[in-house]
């Protein structure tokens, strides 16, 4: 595995590089946003959001436009609105400092598993019997094209947001448990973060423009208003 580590703190970068290399990871470290945006042949990006020359969220958005590898935001910014901003900027996961090396390695494995570069192919959420296009009022979800629109306007969804939408819409109004959603979207319940699920539901609701489309079933999970296949 080749990882681009974007971290301006030399002490933190050295410690993390040592841990990663001991686990067989090839690490390329840069300390600024400008360096991060230069071409790099890597499989995953670990991105600190507190960079000296550029806002980390801007770097994340720029990276997402030009690369198709998982991005994990690794930052001290712990507030919910900051997590949501990181995910909306294109991060595939969000890890708050301080963290254990075991957790970070597990999250790296998880995002690689569910990316097209990992051992498991994605998207997993779509069942062969699920209709290729689903409609919920003005919302249309094209599973084959991985495209969702509201009143004809395309939604800018991250990979995980689309996978989450596909699972919920494909359930035709049935409740999807938290465990099911973590397994289908994040690849494994063992490493899945229930907080990550809640944040993604929140961002999905915001992008859909109708919070009531995704309903919370307390103590169980989430469901979507019954999806109707297009004729």
Q: Are residues 7 and 108 in the same domain?
A: yes
Its domain, for residue 60, covers 2-114
Q: What is the pLDDT of residue 116?
A: 54
Q: What is the pLDDT of residue 6?
A: 96
Q: Are residues 162 and 71 in the same domain?
A: no
* Tally of structural domains, the chain: 2
Positive or negative, the Cα torsion across 72, 75, 79, 82? negative
Q: Which residues contact 15 (CB under 8 A, 6 or more apart)?
A: none
Whether residue 124 lies inside any domain: the answer is no
Give the whole-angstrom CA distance, residue 143 versus residue 47. Answer: 30
Q: Are residues 13 and 108 in the same domain?
A: yes
Expressed in angstroms, the distance from the first to the final Cα of the chain is: 44
Whether residue 201 lies inside any domain: the answer is yes
Q: Are residues 102 and 14 in the same domain?
A: yes
Whether residue 43 lies inside any domain: the answer is yes
Q: Are residues 59 and 159 in the same domain?
A: no
Give the whole-angstrom CA distance, residue 58 versus residue 158. Answer: 16
Q: What is the pLDDT of residue 73?
A: 94
Whether residue 35 lies inside any domain: the answer is yes
CATH number at residue 31: 3.40.50.2300
Quote the radius of gyration of the chain (alpha carbons, Å): 18
Max intra-chain CA distance, the chain: 59
- Mean pLDDT, consecutive 10-residue stretches, the chain (231 aa), reads 92 89 89 90 92 92 87 88 90 86 86 60 38 77 86 90 87 80 64 70 90 86 67 46
Q: Are residues 206 and 156 in the same domain?
A: yes
Last residue of a domain, one of 64, 86, 114: 114
Last residue of a domain, one of 114, 144, 161: 114
3-class DSSP state for residue 179? helix
Q: What is the pTM of this model?
A: 0.53
Q: What is the pLDDT of residue 126?
A: 37
Q: CA nearest 208: which of 224, 192, 230?
A: 224
């Amino acid at each position: 595995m080749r990882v681009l580590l974007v971290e301006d703190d030399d002490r933190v970068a050295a410690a993390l590089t040592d841990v990663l290399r001991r686990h067989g990871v090839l690490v390329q470290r840069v300390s600024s946003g400008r360096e991060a945006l230069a071409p790099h042949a890597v499989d995953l990006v670990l991105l600190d959001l507190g960079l000296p020359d550029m806002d980390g969220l801007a770097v994340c958005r720029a990276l997402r436009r030009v690369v198709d590898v998982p991005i994990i935001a690794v930052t001290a910014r712990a507030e919910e609105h900051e997590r949501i901003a990181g995910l909306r900027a294109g991060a595939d996961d969000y890890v708050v400092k301080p963290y254990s090396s075991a957790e970070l390695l597990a999250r790296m494995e998880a995002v690689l598993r569910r990316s097209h570069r990992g051992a498991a192919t994605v998207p997993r959420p779509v069942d062969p019997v699920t209709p290729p296009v689903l409609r919920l009022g003005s919302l249309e979800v094209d599973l084959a094209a991985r495209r969702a629109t509201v009143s004809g306007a395309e939604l800018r969804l991250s990979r995980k947001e689309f996978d989450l939408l596909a699972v919920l819409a494909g359930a035709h109004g049935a409740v999807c448990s938290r465990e099911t959603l973590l397994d289908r979207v994040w690849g494994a319940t063992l490493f899945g973060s229930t907080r990550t699920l809640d944040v993604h539901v929140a961002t999905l609701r915001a992008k859909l423009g109708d919070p009531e489309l995704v309903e919370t079933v307390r103590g169980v999970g989430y469901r979507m208003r019954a999806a109707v296949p297009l004729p």
